[in-house]
Structure formats: structure tokens, C-alpha cells
Amino acid sequence: MASVRAVLIDIDGVLTVSWEPLPGAVAALREIREAGLGVALVTNTTSRTRASLAEVLVGAGFPVRAEDILTAPAATASYLADHCPGARCTLLNSGDIAEDLAGVTLVGGEAEDVDVVVLGGAGPEFGYSALDHAFGHLQRGARLVAMHRNLYWRTEDGLRLDAGAFLAGLEQAARTEAEVTGKPSPAFFEAALARLGVCAGEALMVGDDIESDVLAAQRAGLTGVLVKTGKYLPETHRSASGTPDHVIESFADLPALLAASAEQ
């Protein structure tokens, strides 16, 4: 912790819930910025583009720019360009993220010649017909690329079901395994570290999802910090596949954790 030069931060459930700032989050991020630490906001959010996210966060008082944000859709575009150049892709997602999928050839779900089925975040679009079309493409040999495996997320109205629940069913039915581009993919963390110009041992990851945010980051060599906000549940914490390096009540407590570690 004493060698930390950069902080990777999840957005939804850590800085905000339903895009409203959590208590103390704005001040904590300002303090981290003023300390000279690098900042990257790393999110599996698939309902907004990087520019849209930055606009909302700045409006709430957070000191961020679009360049500070790495989204699962942006990571997916890079992945498809590298691994499936020129592929015809059908996207199942809730929200308009076309801006972050620049360069990806998108076709409708009912098209016949689909090379890749791309799953984003869940919403009303995840009905039987759309999922059945996706299943048909997978049966005909299309690859399955998922932006994340999140089972649920936290809103002001409580937990809501996410795409990971549908992804598991598609994988089992089509006897295939998705290529995951967002968290917990190691490549996602590596991309964020490369943007910041630091190695894994010089960065920590702050998240509310113990598996996809924290333990995945620890496996990639980062220090993991779990916050008890957002989708955090005590039972999920107890049954997790590992132990976070640090657990704090909220993001507002991060500056104190960093300061205490520096003193040690």
C-alpha cells in the first residue's frame, strides 16, 4: 500500500447509486486527486458511453474526464478489433453505447450471417425472442462475447437482475463459453494499468463486487479494497472465493486508509 501510485475505482455502487453520489464520495475523490495519485474509473456499466458517464459525474461534482473512464463497451470494441476483425456482430444490450463501439460492424439480431453474439447489460431488451435469436446464432457457430458476468446491480429501488444470469443460461444451452471483456477479465485491468502507466503492484482497485472487482483485481496483482456499499451483501462476502486485502465502509474512507498505510 505504501507504494500505491494509482487507484482504479468502480463507479456504480462505489461512487454513485442510481447516478446519485454516495455520501463523502466527491470529497474523497478530490482528496485522492490532490494527493497526486493516478485515477481510472473502471466500470462494467453498459447503459452509457464514456462521454455520457463523464457528463453525469462532473454534474454531480466529481473531478473526472472522459479519458479517465474505461468502460466494458470500450474494452469490447478493442477486443473485437484484435480478435475478430471485420466480424458481423449482433448486440444484445440495454442502452445506446454505439459511440463506444466505434469500428464494430453491428447487424440486427434476426440477421442470418452473424459471426459474434455480444452481450451487454440486461434490461427490457432481454426478452425470449432476442435470447432465442442469440441462441440460434450460437448453435450455428457464432462466438459469444460478454461485456461482463454481473448477476445484479444496486439501484435506488434495490437489487436488479443483470446479464450474467442470462449469460449462464446461453452458455449451458449452447454448450459454449463466453469470452469476457470487462471485469473480471485480466485484460480489462491490464488496459487500465497501461493507461495509467503503472504496474499492478503500484495500484489498488476499489469495488463493491467482491468477485468481479476485488478478488479479480487481486489475482491480477493489484491490491483489492472492498466497500460495503452498492451491491455489497454480507452473505456474498462470507461465501466469496477469497479474502479482500482491505474492507472499508465506503469510498469516503479510502483517503484515511491510504494515509494510514503511507505512515506505516
Which residues does 175 contact at the CB level (< 8 Å), separation at least 6?
Answer: none
Query: Strand runs (DSSP E) across the chain, as ranges?
Result: 6-9, 16-17, 20-21, 38-43, 69-71, 88-92, 105-107, 116-119, 143-146, 152-155, 158-161, 179-180, 203-207, 223-227, 246-248
Chain CA centroid to CA 74, Å = 11
Dist CA 213 CA 169 (whole Å): 23
Q: How many helices (H) and strands (E) does the chain have?
A: 9, 15
Side chain identity, residue 29: L
Q: DSSP assignment, residue 85?
A: T
First to last CA, the chain: 9
DSSP 183-249: TT-HHHHHHHHHHHT--GGGEEEEES-IIIIIIHHHHTT-EEEEESSTT--HHHHHT-SS--SEEES
Q: What is the mean pLDDT of residues 4-31?
A: 96
- As a whole number of angstroms, the distance between CA 42 and CA 189 comes to 8
User: Has residue 48 got a pLDDT over 90?
Assistant: no
One-letter amino acid at 138 equals: L
Q: For 211-264, what is each residue's pLDDT tens digit? A: 999 999 999 999 999 999 999 999 999 999 999 999 999 999 999 999 987 776
158-161/152-155 β-pairing:
antiparallel
pLDDT at 47: 84
Residue 204's pLDDT is what? 97
Q: Which of 66, 60, 68, 69 is nearest to 26 (CA)?
A: 60
pLDDT at 106 over 90: yes
Task: Evaluate if residue 1 carries a pLDDT over 70.
Answer: no
Report whether pLDDT(131) > 80: yes
Residue 233: how many other CB atoms lie within 10 Å: 15
pLDDT of residue 157: 86
Q: What is the model's pLDDT at position 154?
A: 81
35 secondary structure, DSSP code: T
| pLDDT single digits (tens) 134-169 | 999 999 999 999 999 989 988 888 889 999 999 999
Q: What is the pLDDT of residue 211?
A: 95
User: CB–CB of 147/46 below 8 Å?
Assistant: yes
User: What's the pLDDT at 188?
Assistant: 92
Mean pLDDT over the full length of the chain: 94
- Give yes or no for a contact between 223 and 1, defined as CB atoms under 8 angstroms apart: yes
